[in-house]
Amino acid sequence: MSIEFASLKRTYDLYADEYEEASLRALRSGWYILGNELQSFEEQFAEFTGCRFCVGVGNGQEALILALRALGIGPGDEVITQSNGYIASVLGITENGATPVFVEPDEFFLLNPDEVESHITERTKAILCVHMYGQASDMTKISSIAKKHGLYLIEDCAQSHGAMHVDKMTGSYGDIGCFSFYPTKPIGALGDAGACVTDSEEIADKLRKMRNYGSGKKYVNEIMGTNSRLDEVQAAALQVSLKYFQEGKDARTRIANQYLKGIHNPLVQLPKTASDSGHVWHIFAIRCKEREKLQSWLLEHDIKTAIHYPIPPHLQECYKHLGYQTGDFPIAEKYAMEELSLPIYNGMPDEDVACVINAINEFKG
């Protein structure tokens, strides 16, 4: 039997009755867009993150695009972000016509606060930090840099639902926190969905209009918006995913601890965790200089893995015009060549975890 990288089916089956009850409730209500289910979910998710407001949108990508737009970030503006991020974060910048300014990540795969200040120019408008793999960035340092230089702070929390830095959750440090509820994420829908959280009533109102054609009152358009709404069936399912978030996090943490304790191979580097940061283990990222060999070795043992991500944004074809070259960000490029993600999901059988550990320990390169 092969060991899957993830099994949405297994996770779904743990809570199938509740997902089906919630979906049916939404289906039978006869109201499918901007209704009670979304309002309930928004209230619950705002409370969960410790923010005053939550605005549901179509997906995580649109949460990022609308967040930057709501803050007035556009052509001529620079946004500082890490060079080892995911393309969607960078698209959140470039879709608004603004320019991404990349900085190297730290040893935790996160935005390195010590790299930020030297990249601030007169054009810098914001810092976009991505809490990679489920671990919170150093928000104490990053927030204070943003404050000192009068920059907006936007958090990409698409992998870090529920991850704490010191005593606050990711998403609650920035002006806006952006979330994806893509099915595989720590809180997932049964389709596409996303949200922005904020403490500012003004920003929340603007986002609410922006997701609905720019209209607060039907057929009255105050700003140019778009259509990016979180539908009622997804909002109903998300209340179930939110309810069981802690259970899922505990399951993944148990697996992560088994990996951290059980994997001993000089060719493999285990992920490091920062002492004041919570980790929700969205992705268990190991590093190996012979990554392709290790991945094939595991596949020979029927173990599926993934790579997050093989090409850093600055080297993507779509960003050729920005003029970056191989060698510009050696740390991010090294991570892209060495990173390998091990299976970790709520519902993963213990014997599968043991098989992964054994196979890695037997890898000789």
Ligand X SMILES: *Cc1c(COP(=O)(O)O)cnc(C)c1O
CB of 56 to ligand X, least distance (A): 12
Q: By CB under 6 A, is residue 6 in contact with ligand X? A: no
CB of 41 to ligand X, least distance (A): 15
Q: 164 vs 195, which CB is nearer to ligand X?
A: 195
Region from 42-50, 119-127, 154-162, 296-304 binding ligand X, contact rule CB under 6 A: 154-162
Residue nearest to ligand X (CB): 60
Residues 318 and 314: their CA atoms lie apart, in Å, by 9
Q: By CB under 6 A, is residue 180 in contact with ligand X? A: yes
Look at residues 297, 301, 278 and name the one whose alpha carbon lies nearest to residue 340. Answer: 297
Q: By CB under 6 A, is residue 268 in contact with ligand X? A: no
Region from 58-66, 134-142, 218-226, 247-255 binding ligand X, contact rule CB under 6 A: 58-66
Region from 155-163, 228-236, 273-281, 324-332 binding ligand X, contact rule CB under 6 A: 155-163
One residue of 156, 175, 231, 333 binding ligand X per CB under 6 A: 156
CB of 182 to ligand X, least distance (A): 4
Binding mask 104-143 for ligand X (x = CB under 6 A): --------------------------x-------------
Q: By CB under 6 A, is residue 89 in contact with ligand X? A: yes
CB of 59 to ligand X, least distance (A): 4
